[in-house]
Chains A and B, each alone.
Chain A
Amino acid sequence: MYHTLTWMLWLGAALLPAMITRNPLYLTILLLAVAVAYKTLGRLSPMAASWSIFLKAGLLLAAVSVLFNTLTVNYGDTVLFTLPLLSLRIGRVPLLELGGEITLEAIVFGLTSALSLVAILLIFATFNVLVDHHRVLRLTPAFLYQTGMIASIAIAFVPQMVAALQDIREAQAIRGHRFRGIRDLLPLFVPLLTTGLERAIQLAESMEARGFGSGTGDQTGRHRTLHRMLIAAALFGLLVAAFSFGYYADSRWPSAVLGVASIGLLLGNVFVMSRRVKRSRYRRELWRRRDTLVSAACVASLFVVGGFWLLNMEALVFYPYPKVSPPEFNPLIGLAMLAVVTPVLTAPQKRRSPT
Chain B
Amino acid sequence: MNRIAAACVSIAVLIALTLGSMGLTGEAAALGPYRVGLVVQFSEGGFVTDCVEFDQPEISGCDVLDLSDLSVSYSPPGTYGQAVCGIEEVGCPTADCFCDCQGVDCVYWAYYHLLAGAWEYSSVGCSAHSVHDGDVEGWAWGPGTYGATSQVKPPLFTFEEVCVPPPATPTRTPDPVPPEVDFWADPDEVVAGQCSTLHWSVDNGELVALDGEGVRPYDARYVCPSETQAFELLVLNAAGEFNYQVTISVRQPTATPYPTTTHAAPPTATSRVTSPPPPPTETPTAEQPEARTSPPPTGTPTPPSTPRPTVVAMLSTGTAAAPEPQDAAIAQPTVQASASEEEPDDTVGLDRILLLLGVGAGTIGFGTVAFVATVILLLAIYFRARAQF
Q: A residues engaging B (CB < 8 A)? A: 25, 28-29, 32-33, 36, 39-41, 44, 72-75, 83-87, 92-94, 99, 109, 247-250, 317, 319, 321-322, 326, 328-331, 334-335, 337-338, 341, 344-345, 347, 349-350
Question: Is A86's CB under 8 angstroms from B128's CB?
Answer: no
Q: Given A75-B76, A344-B385, A32 and B378 touching (CB < 8 A)?
A: yes
| CB of B11 to closest CB in A, whole Å | 14
Point out the residues of chain A lying under 8 angstroms from B367, CB to CB: 25, 328-331
- CA A40 – CA B379 in complex, angstroms? 12
Point out the residues of chain A lying under 8 angstroms from B76, CB to CB: 73, 75, 109, 321
Q: Which residue of A lies closest to B368 (CB)?
A: A329
B374 close to A (CB within 8 Å): yes
Question: Is A75's CB under 8 angstroms from B77's CB?
Answer: yes
B6 close to A (CB within 8 Å): no
Residue in B77, B103, B368, B375 whose CB lies within 8 Å of A32 = B375
| CB of B121 to closest CB in A, whole Å | 15
- Among B77, B130, B370, B374, the one with the most A-chain Cβ atoms within 10 Å of its Cβ is B374
Q: Which of B7-45 contact A (CB under 8 A)?
A: 18-20, 22-23, 26
Point out the residues of chain B lying under 8 angstroms from A347, CB to CB: 385, 389
Question: Is A84's CB under 8 angstroms from B20's CB?
Answer: yes
Question: Is B19's CB under 8 angstroms from A321's CB?
Answer: no
Q: Given A73-B77, A349-B388, A99 and B19 touching (CB < 8 A)?
A: yes
- CA A200 – CA B379 in complex, angstroms? 48
Question: Is B375's CB under 8 angstroms from A250's CB?
Answer: no
Question: Is B18's CB under 8 angstroms from A39's CB?
Answer: no
Q: Which residue of B lies closest to A249 (CB)?
A: B102
Question: Is A36's CB under 8 angstroms from B385's CB?
Answer: yes
Question: Is A321's CB under 8 angstroms from B94's CB?
Answer: yes
Interface size class of B (residues with CB under 8 A): 35 or more
Residue in B19, B129, B368, B374 whose CB lies within 8 Å of A84 = B19
Question: Is B382's CB under 8 angstroms from A94's CB?
Answer: no
Q: Which 3 A-B pairs have the closest CB atoms?
A: A84-B23, A329-B367, A249-B102
| CB of B58 to closest CB in A, whole Å | 9
Residue in A25, A40, A73, A250 whose CB lies within 8 Å of B389 = A40
Q: Given A25-B371, A40-B386, A319 and B378 touching (CB < 8 A)?
A: no
Residue in A36, A72, A248, A330 whose CB lies within 8 Å of B381 = A36
Point out the residues of chain B lying under 8 angstroms from A247, CB to CB: 103-104
Residue in B128, B378, B382 whose CB lies within 8 Å of A93 = B128
Residue in B22, B128, B368, B385 whose CB lies within 8 Å of A40 = B385
Q: Which residue of A lies closest to B381 (CB)?
A: A341
Point out the residues of chain B lying under 8 angstroms from A350, CB to CB: 388-389
B82 close to A (CB within 8 Å): yes
A-B CB contact pairs (8 Å), 16 listed: A25-B367, A25-B371, A29-B374, A36-B378, A39-B386, A40-B382, A74-B77, A83-B19, A247-B104, A248-B104, A250-B102, A322-B73, A322-B94, A330-B367, A334-B370, A335-B374
Q: Given A86-B22, A250-B105, A331 and B370 touching (CB < 8 A)?
A: yes
Other A-B pairs beyond A40-B382, A329-B367, A329-B370, 5, CB < 8 Å: A72-B77, A84-B23, A86-B18, A92-B129, A350-B388
- CA A29 – CA B379 in complex, angstroms? 10
Question: Is B95's CB under 8 angstroms from A319's CB?
Answer: yes
| CB of B83 to closest CB in A, whole Å | 12
Question: Is B374's CB under 8 angstroms from A331's CB?
Answer: yes
B168 close to A (CB within 8 Å): no
Question: Is A329's CB under 8 angstroms from B371's CB?
Answer: yes
Residue in B95, B370, B378 whose CB lies within 8 Å of A33 = B378
Q: Which residue of B lies closest to A345 (CB)?
A: B381
